[in-house]
Structure 1
Amino acid sequence: MIKVYGMPSCPDCAEVEERIKASGKENDFTLVDIGKHVVYLKAFLQLRDRDEAFREAREQGYVGIPCFVREDGSVTLSHEDVGL
């Protein structure tokens, strides 16, 4: 299962959620709203602060959502990389 970190108020995250619904692969993804609970935010920040996939986002001052964590633990910020 692919974990998707995001927030409903983020337009890109909302688009990804719609892509997931349209793909018919809802069971392949878990949406994690980082604004819903501090535990989710902390998990996301640990990824963002350490993973190379976020280097450009950090350098440009972007939040880095939506982000996708594959089952093998690899991280991407591209919805295309996860088949959406």
Structure 2
Amino acid sequence: MKEFLSNEEIKFVYLDISENMLNLKMFLKYRDSFPQFSDIKESGRVGLPCIVINNGEDIIFDKSLLDIDALKLQ
């Protein structure tokens, strides 16, 4: 997803959860708190990669579901 967003010239912050504990905790906060992860957790998956838009306004797991034009305006 990182390469895809870069190629589309979309501004984003990339966080690697294995880089440090803060990044892992941030991801786990979303994973444990947001209903978008319910099906993923029930099926035993982690939920990565994912794109969190505007602090959880939307969480996308499939890049084909992104509204690229809307993201470019942000």
Q: What is the letter of the counterpart of residue 39 of structure 2?
A: E
User: Could you tell me the TM-score, scaled by structure 2's length?
Assistant: 0.75
Are the equivalent residues in 2 in contact too, given 1:64–1:77 (CA < 8 A)?
yes
Could you give the per-residue CA deviations for residues 38-74 of structure 1, whole angstroms, max 9, x where no partner exists?
A: 1110110111012111011101111101111112632
Q: How does 1:38-57 map to 2 (within 5 A)?
A: 38-57=21-40
1:21 aligns with 2:1: no
Report the CA distance shift for 1:82/1:54 in structure 2 as closer, same or farther (over 3 A): farther
Give ranges in structure 1 of 5+ residues lacking alignment.
1-15
Q: CA RMSD in A?
A: 1.9
| Partners of 1:82 and 1:61 in 2: CA distance | 28
Aligned pair partner of 2:16 in 33, 40, 45 = 33
Give the secondary structure class of the aligned counterpart of 2:29: helix
| Partners of 1:76 and 1:33 in 2: CA distance | 17
Structure number with the higher strand fraction is 1
| Partners of 1:47 and 1:17 in 2: CA distance | 19
Runs of 4+ in 1 over 3 A off after TM superposition: none
Larger-gyration structure (1/2): 2
Report the identity percentage.
Answer: 30
Give the secondary structure class of the aligned counterpart of 1:53: helix
Aligned residue pairs total 67
